Chain A
Amino acid sequence: MAVVLIVLPLLSGAAAFLLRDDAARRRLLLWTAWLHFLLTAGRILAYGRWGWAYSVAEGFRETPFWLPGAWEWFSFDAPGLLFLGVTSLLFLGAAHYAAAYLAEEKRDPGEKGENGFIFNNAPEAVFSGCLLFFLSAMTGVAAARHLGLLWAAVEATTLLSAPLIYFHRHKRSLEATWKYLLICSVGIALALMGNLFMGAAGLRGGAGLHLDGLLAGAEGLDSQLLKAAFIFLFVGYGTKMGLAPFHTWLPDAHSEAPAVVSALLSGALLNCAFLGVLRAAQVCGAAGLADFSGGILVLFGLASLVTAALFMLGQRDYKRMLAYSSIEHMGILAIGAGLGGRALYGALLGAVGHSLTKAGLFFASGLVLAAYRTKQIKDVKGLLRRSPAVAALWLAGFLLITGTPPSGIFLAKFVILKEAVADGRWAVAGVYLFFLAVVFAAMAKIFIETTFGEPAQEPERRFEPPRAMVRPALFFFVLVAALGLRVPSWLDAVLNLAAGAIGGAR
C-alpha cells in the first residue's frame, strides 16, 4: 500500500515530464491527486475504524516478509498516517488550484509584472512534474520506517520543491530558492549526523536505524549518544520545520513561491519536518529521555512564537506575514509536543488545522496578489470593494488561523494551554498567552487594513476570481471550522493513537 502510494505520483510525475499537451497534463495532475487521496482516505478510515495497522500488503521488507521478525522499509503507523492524510488532502486542493492557476497563467502568456518585476514562468511540465515528485517524496517521509530513509525522503522534498519555488523566474524568487536550498541542505546534513549518532547509540542493540528496532530496544540505547542524536536531528529537521532561529529561509521561500507552492510548503512540508522531529522525540521518549527532548522542544517552540510575533509587528508584505504565522504555529506545535501528554494530541490536531487553514490562506493570498499585483500591505486596501468573495475568504482565514472558534486550531491552542497549566508550567503558559495576543494584534491590524476601507487605485475595478481557485480554500476553511465543531470518532482515534505512539514527555 505504502509503496503504491509512493510510486503512483512518481510514475505520473515522470509522465508529466513527457506529456506535451498542457490540458492532458493538468488532467493527469488532478487524477493522480484524486487517486492518491482516495487510497489514503480508505487507508486512514480502515485504520481509524478497525485499527488495521500493519499488513503484508503494507510495505516491502528488508528480507522477504514471510520471515518472522523482519522489519518493513515503508509502512504506516498512526503518526505517519495522520500526516499522510493531511498531505494528500492538501495536495488534492492544491492540484485543483494549480490546474486553474496554470490555465490562468497560460491565458495571458508572456511577461508579468509584480511590484516592478518583469518575469517569465518556468515551463509548465517542470512545474507539474516536480509537484508530483514532491508528493511522492512527502509520502515517503510519512511512510518511512527507517530513519535513514526518512532522512533521504526529507532531503528529496527539499530538492524537489526548489524548482517549484523558482517557478516565477525573477531575481527575488531565485534568491529565495538559493537560500532555501542551501540552508535546508546544511540543516539536513546535520540531521544526517544525528542519524549517525542514533545509529551509534543503537550499535550495541544492533537495531541499526530501524524505528521499530530502536523503539523495541530503546532501554539499551546509550543515553549520552542518544541526546547528541536528538540535538542534531532536532536542529536538522527543525531547520526544515522553520523553528527559530533556523527559520530564516522560510519567509523568503514562502513569499516568493507561487501561492500554490507556498501552500504546499507551509501545509505539508513543514509537517513532514515536524514528523522527523517527532520520530526523534519518539525514540527519546521510549528511552526515558522525554524530559530532555521535551525541554528543548518547548524552549525552541517559545523562541519561534516570540520571533514570529516580533516579525509580524510592522510587517510590510502579506505573504511574509503568513509565513511568519507558519513559524508561530510550528512553535505552538513544538510546545505541544514538548509538553507531551494531552498537549501532544493538541499539537497533532493543531498540525491538521494549521495545514488546512494556512493552505487556504495562501490560496487566498494568491487571489489577492492577482487582484492587486503587489504583495505590499500598504498598497492593498478595500479588498471588500474590489472582490467581496476573496475578502470573505481572506477574513475567514484570518479568524480561523488565529484560533477563533469554531476552529480546530482553537481546540489545539486550548488543549495545549490546559496541559501547560495542569503541569504548573506557569512561565510557559504566560509567554505563550502574551505572544499569542501580540500575534493576534499584529495580524488583526494587517487584515483589517487590507480588507476594509476604500481601494487606493481609482477607478475601482472589480476582480472576479475563477471559481476553481476559490473552491479549495473555501473547502479547507469549512473543514477546519467543522473540525472545531466536531472531531469525528475515527479522526479522534487516529489522533489518540498517534499521540500514544509518540508518547512524549511524562
Chain B
Amino acid sequence: MNTFAELTIVLIILLNMAMSVSGSLASCIRLAAAQGVAAGLLPLMAAGGAHGRAVAFAAFIIALKGLVFPWLMLRARELTGARKEIDPLIGYPASITLCLAAFAASAWLGSRLPLPEGGVAYIVPASLATIFTGFLLITTRVKAITQVVGYLVVENGVYIFGLALFVEQPLMVEMAILLDVFVAVFVMGIAIFHISREFDHIDTDALSQLSDWRRGEEG
C-alpha cells in the first residue's frame, strides 16, 4: 500500500511546484483543490485499514477541499471579475527556485526533528514543503484570492503533517478544525467580495493605506 501513498506524496510535491509556477488564477485554485483531494486520500492508503470512520472522514474532507472550496473561490473570482493572471511579485523562475529550496529545507528540517518514524517516506518533508509553498503563494502574489489559496495550501500541509505524526485527534476536534477552516474560507470569500466592491479590483497593494510609515518627516 505504501507505494501508493508515496506516489501520492510525490504527486503532492509536484502540485506544489505546479502551483508555484501556474500563471492563471483558475488553474491555481484547481491545483490547490487537487492537492486537497490527494491529501484526503492519503490516510486511506497510509494507515492501511480503511475502516469506517476513516473512510467517512476522508470522504468529508475530499468533498470539502475538492468541491466546496474551489467552487467558493471560483465563484468569488467570477463575482469580483478578477483578471485571469496571477501577477506575482517575483518571477516564476524565482518562485520555483524558492519552492525547491523550501523542499530541501524541509527535508533537512524533517531529518532534524525526532519524529516517530512513519512507514511512508518523505511524508514529513512533503508536508513542510507544502506549508512553505502556501506561504510562498501568500507572500509573493498580489491578488487577495491567491492569498486565500495559499492559506488553503498551508492547511493541506498541516493536515498532511498531522497524518504523518499519527496524531489521532478525537472526531469532535477534527470536526471543529474543519468547520473553522470552512468558515475561514467562507469569510475570506465574503471579504474578497467586499474588497472588489470597494476597490474595484482585488490587488492587495491597494490594501496598504493603514501604516505608521512616516515617510518624509524626519525626526
Contacts and interface: CB of A to CB of B under 8 A. Distances in A.
A380 interface: no
Interface size class of B (residues with CB under 8 A): 35 or more
A149 interface: yes
5 contacts: A172-B210, A175-B207, A178-B195, A189-B151, A225-B114
Interface size class of A (residues with CB under 8 A): 35 or more
A196 B158 contact: yes
Contacts of B172: 73, 149
B160 to A, nearest CB: 10
B161 A196 contact: yes
A176 B144 CA distance: 13
Contacts of B170: 62, 146, 148, 208
B53 interface: no
B89 interface: no
Nearest to B183: A159
Interface string A176-197: 1111011001100100110111
B214 A152 contact: no
B138 interface: yes
Given A174-B191, A181-B191, A222-B114, A193 B180 contact: no
Interface in B98-118: 113-116
Given A152-B176, A175-B207, A192 B199 contact: no
A186 B147 CA distance: 10
Nearest to A175: B207
B48 interface: no
Interface of B: 113-116, 131, 135, 138, 144, 147, 151, 154-155, 158, 161-162, 165-170, 172-173, 176-177, 179-180, 183-184, 187-188, 191, 194-195, 198-199, 204, 207-210, 212, 214, 217
Given A162-B187, A185-B188, A225-B113, 17 more contacts: A148-B170, A152-B179, A159-B180, A159-B184, A166-B191, A169-B194, A171-B199, A174-B191, A179-B210, A185-B184, A193-B131, A196-B167, A200-B115, A203-B116, A208-B168, A209-B169, A256-B210
Given A178-B144, A179-B207, A193-B161, A209 B114 contact: no
B165 A200 contact: yes
A55 interface: no
Contacts of B166: 200, 203
B32 to A, nearest CB: 14
A196 B154 contact: no
A311 interface: yes
A182 B147 contact: yes
A252 interface: yes
A148 B176 contact: yes
Interface string A194-224: 0111011001000011000000000000101
B210 A185 contact: no
B210 A199 contact: no
Nearest to B207: A175
Nearest to B151: A185
Contacts of B204: 178
A406 B34 CA distance: 60
Contacts of B116: 200, 203
B212 A171 contact: no
A178 B197 CA distance: 14
B17 to A, nearest CB: 21
